Amino acid sequence: MEARLETTILKNLIRNESFTRKVIPFIKEEYFSELDEQTVFNEVKSYFDKYTKSPSVEALLINIDNNTKLGDNVVNNTKKILQEIGSSTEESQTDWLIDETEKWCKDRAIYIAVMDSIGVLDEKSKRSKGEIPELLKDALSVSFDTHIGHDQLDDADARFEFYHTEEEKIPFDLEYFNKITKGGLPNKTLNICLAGTGVGKSLFMCHMAASALMMNKNVLYITLEMSEERIAERIDANVMNVPMKELPDLSKKMYDKKIDKLKDKTKGKLIIKEYPTASAHVGHFRHLLQELDIKKDFKPDMIFIDYLNICASHRVRPGQGANSYTLVKSIAEELRGLAVEYDVPIVSATQTTRSGYGSTDIDLTDTSESFGLPATADFMFALITSDELEELDQLVVKQLKNRYNDPTIFKRFVIGIDRSRMKLYDCEQEAQEELIDNAVTYNDDVPVFDRGKDKFSDLKI
C-alpha cells in the first residue's frame, strides 16, 4: 500500500499541477523509502522550483539521462517508474489524495524520527539524547497548512466574532497595571521592565511570579543573574509575608506549615531554573520547556527571564563581532518568538544607560545597549526611584510603550514597595493625585491624564 501510494503521489506531482502546488512545499526527499523514487521526486521538485509548473514525463527522462551523478541502476529504475507513469490513464480525486498525502507525510516523519532516536540511543548518531524530544516534536507537528490569508470581506463574520471574543490575559494584582493593560498581559507577548541597578527589576518580577502562582497559574522563572535559591527566597518572603531576614529564623515545623498552607491556596506550580550568565539562549529555554513537559507534565502559563541583556542569542554566535544593538535586538526577537510559539506572555527586564541611572524621567532612549529592544517589545515601562520616594516606600512607574492601550492614559503612577518582603502594593489615591494633579474624568469617574499637563517634572524626586 505504501509503495503504491508513493507511486500515486509521484504520478500526480507530474500530471496534476493543482495537487503539486498544494503539497510539494511539505514533501521531503527522505519520505520516499526507495532511492529511485527519491530521484524522481528530486527531479520533479528541481523542475517545479525553476519553472513553477509540473514537468512532463519526457522532460524528466531527458534530465535523468543528462544527470551524470546517477548510477546506471538508478537511471534504469527511475526510467521504469516514469514510463509506468506515462502509460497510466488512472485519475485520482485531488482532495482525497491531498488528505492521504498528508497522512503519509506524518507517518513517514514519525517513522524517520523514531529511527533517528534509536540511532541516538545506540550511539550511532552525532546527535545528543537531549535532542530526541525535538526530533519527535517536529515529526508530530507535520501538517499541510491550507490557510492562505484573511479575506477582508469574505471573512468578515470571523473577524466580528474575534472583536467580541474576550482575550485571555494574566491579570496583575496591582490596580493601575491592570488599567493600563486593559486587564493584564495577553499571551504571545514580550513585556519589559526598565530600571537602574538596585531599583527593583528582579523584585518586580519575583512579585509578579508570586502573584501569578497564587492565581493558580503555572510559572517558569529563568534566572541568569541570581541563584535558584535566592529567587526562591524572595518568592518565599512574598507569599509567606515574612521579611527575608526572618526566614532563617523560622523553625522547620513553622516553615512546613506555611508551605502546606500555600499548597492549599493554589493549584499552580512555580519552577525556577538557573543558567550561567550569558550562556543560555532560546534553544536552551525551548529544551527546558520540553523536558518539563515530558518529566513533570508542566506547561507554563507565564515565563519570566531575569534578565534579557545577559541572555545569549541563538542566531548571533559569540565571536561574530556583532554590535550590542544587533545582539540585544536578536535576543528580544527570539524571546518574543518563543512567547508566540508557546502561547504565553514573557516578562523580562533591562538596564538603563548611565545617563538614565539617576534620572527622574526615564525615556525609551535610556534603554541600555540597544534601541532594538523597545522596538520589539509589546509593553515596556520604567521603574523610577529617588531619595524622597525611598523614604515613602514608593516607586514611580512610567509607561514607555504600550500595544494594549493608549500609553498616555496613566502615563505615570505610583506603587508601594516593601523591600523586606519583596512585595509591591497599591498606594492610596492621595499618592496618585499628588503625581497626577491635572487629570480629567471620563466614564465611571476614572481619572485619565490630560495630555501634556501632568506636573511630574515639577516634583522633587
**99 or 431, which is more confident:** 99
The answer to whether residue 240 scores a pLDDT higher than 90 is: yes
Rounded CA separation 351/29 (Å): 48
Cis before residue 31, ω within 30 degrees of 0?
no
What whole-number distance in Å separates Cα of residue 461 and Cα of residue 449? Answer: 20
- Please report which confidence band the pLDDT of residue 326 belongs to, taking 50, 70 and 90 as the band edges: confident
- State yes or no: pLDDT of 454 exceeds 50: no
Fold for 169-458, please state it: Rossmann fold (3.40.50)
The whole-number average pLDDT for the span 85-92 is 76
The per-residue pLDDT for 70 is 83
Strand intervals (E) in 332-449: 345-351, 379-384, 394-402, 412-418, 423-426, 439-441, 447-449
- For residue 119, the surrounding DSSP H or E stretch is helix 94-121
Q: What letter does residue 351 receive in the DSSP assignment? A: E
Averaged pLDDT, 446-452 = 40
Between 436 and 450, the higher pLDDT residue: 436
| pLDDT band at residue 110 under the 50/70/90 scheme | very high
- On the question of pLDDT at 278 being above 70, the answer is yes
31-40, 124-133, 337-346: the lowest-pLDDT one: 124-133
Distance of CA 150 to the CA centre of its chain: 23
Q: How far apart are CA 4 and CA 208, in angstroms?
A: 58
Q: What is the mean pLDDT of residues 72-87?
A: 86
What average pLDDT does range 392-402 have in this prediction? 91
What is the pLDDT at residue 458?
Answer: 41
**Which range, of 11-15, 255-259, 283-287, 370-374, averages the lowest pLDDT?**
370-374
Residue 122: how many CB atoms within 10 A of its CB? 8
* 2-140 to CATH, choices 3.40.190, 1.10.860, 3.30.70, 1.10.10: 1.10.860
Compute how many other C-beta atoms are within 10 angstroms of the C-beta atom of residue 211: 21
Average pLDDT over residues 299-321: 86
Query: What is the DSSP secondary-structure string of 274-343?
Result: E--TTT--HHHHHHHHHHHHHHH----SEEEEE-GGGSPPSSS-TTS---HHHHHHHHHHHHHHHHHHHT
DSSP alpha helix (H) spans, 367-412 = 372-376, 387-391
Alpha-carbon distances, residue 442 vs 236, 336, 437, 445 (angstroms): 40, 34, 15, 6
pLDDT tens-digit map of 19-45: 898 888 889 999 998 888 899 999 999
H/E stretch holding 219: strand 219-223
Confidence of residue 214 (pLDDT cuts 50, 70, 90): very high
Asked whether 53 and 17 are in contact (CB, 8 A), the reply is: yes
Instruction: Please state the domain extents for the chain.
Output: 2-140, 169-458
CA distance linking residue 314 with residue 325, whole number of Å: 15
Least confident range from 78-87, 190-199, 207-216, 393-402: namely 78-87
The C-alpha atoms of residue 16 and residue 268 are separated, in whole angstroms, by: 53
Mean pLDDT of 394-413: 90
pLDDT averaged over every residue in the chain? 85
Count how many residues are written for the chain: 461
343 pLDDT above the threshold of 90 = yes
Checking if the pLDDT of 456 tops 70, the result is no
| pLDDT at 412 exceeding the cut of 60 | yes
